[in-house]
Amino acid sequence: MQRFQNYIGGTFRDGDTWFESVDPSTGEAWAQIPAASQADVDQAVMAADKAFNSPEWASLTATARGKLLYRLADLIAENAPGLAELETRDTGKIIRETSAQIAYVADYYRYYAGLADKIEGAHLPIDKPDMEVWLRREPVGVVAAIVPWNSQLFLSAVKIGPALAAGCTVVLKASEEAPAPMLEFARIFHKAGFPEGVLNVLTGGPDVGAALTRHERIAHVAFTGGPETARHIVRNSAENLASTSLELGGKSPFIVFEDADLDSAVNAQVSGIFAASGQSCVAGSRLVVQASIKDAVLDRLRQKAESVVIGAPDEMATEVGPLCTQRQQNWAAELVTRSQAQGAQLITGGQPLDRAGFYFPPTILDCSRARDADCLTHEFFGPVLSVVSFETEDEAIAIANDTRFGLASGVFTQNLTRAHRMVRSIRAGIVWVNTYRAVSPIAPFGGHGLSGHGREGGLQAALDYTKIKSVWLRTSDDPIPDPFVMR
């Protein structure tokens, strides 16, 4: 059985205790993972704090930081095939997806490498004639980055990349579910030549996350996960007054009007909900389709769902692999059953497959006569699509916004003016028009409401890891008057 180590202060360390990681395609343990202790957390944070204040890191020019990030990007690209295989083994995500995504992760580090020496301050046209005032952007300090198991190399890149570009140091907590890829990433990072302690990687359960997020030396917490955990993080941050950026879940509407290109819309919907076995925070889990084309769209979707190749995630022919955990499989089955009892009509799928591993088939529920069904409000984090129909544009907007989440959305229409109206009206951090799940290091993403706050990706993410310092310089050579002498 393969054994992994935590990475603290530039060294690889065993844990005092270990837990097993399970292969989702077989349900069998395949690796031993070190369970970090609260002492490990403290050592990691103190190592990051020491690195933040050390000349080896703090005195580096921004350009030099960028060169280190370029080196890291090159190493990720070189090791992408092995990382993809490891992520597939540990999470059950199919090799076609992990290979493509991890290859693109290197571009995120390259983007922030290039951005490192372009984080600029400003000169203020101050209202005092004998003063020059300018603003400096400086790193906030030690960052706690917490990522879930799904797309973890990508979700860590949009935290580590901008944080290091800004000059911060990082303690990254990988999920206790399928953390092997992040622990292997630490080995790749180590080879890039960063000073010791700039990045620390450990794993463990909620106690590790709590110890990390409330630590007195943490200045910022960057978290991706669920709203309930985010609430605990916000409470913990009251102890150290750390700022937070929270990228949480979603119940994203995928809106299809009758004038849409149905082939494109259906293909995008299949990708939006069945890719990654639906285990994506931006999954288009609510199909909001105009009533006049509902039957035609549902028929196409059913055919595609039932023809999907379900199989071992390490086989290139596989299109849908297993869910990551037994718990996730059970939750999907329970929510489907509950929603059917509430009036949702099962079109296809609905129950775990009778085979080893945590497989759940692509599932479609027609909720047009069950608008209060739980499947429309709860996040499955699985390959389950809930369908509702609408008659008018205003009704489509109302359905789309009838959620406490607000991460992503999709609109399919050939009407340009309608597209603009929808973009303006939908309450979500991302609106994709005639496409879905497109991402780029240049474009920020994030949500509203229970989908969190803050943005990841783009220039804004790097700025979020900085604080502004105002600098006042008096330009007059005249002595400052004695404030106690009346004139």
Give the catalytic positions in this structure: 247
The upper half-sphere exposure of residue 336, i.e. CA atoms within 13 Å in the direction of its Cβ, equals 24
CA atoms of 365 and 346, how far apart (whole Å): 5
Distance from CA of residue 256 to its chain's centroid? 26
Q: Is 246 helix (H, G, I), strand (E, B) or coil?
A: strand
| DSSP H helical ranges for 92-144 | 95-115
- Distances from the Cα of 407 to the Cαs of 379, 387, 451, in angstroms? 12, 18, 5
CA atoms of 272 and 252, how far apart (whole Å): 10
Question: Exposure pattern of 414-451 as b/e (b: 16+ CB <10 Å)?
Answer: eeeebbebbeebbbbbbbbbeebbeeebeebbbbebbb
Q: Tell me, what amino acid is at 70? A: Y
Token pair 């119940």: residue: 251
- CA nearest neighbour of 154 among 113, 109, 116: 109
Token pair 């990228």: residue: 247
Token pair 């389950």: residue: 384
**Taken in order 276, 446, 325, 37, is the CA torsion positive or negative?**
positive
Question: Which residues sit opposite 290 in a β-bridge?
Answer: 390
- CA nearest neighbour of 143 among 128, 158, 133: 158
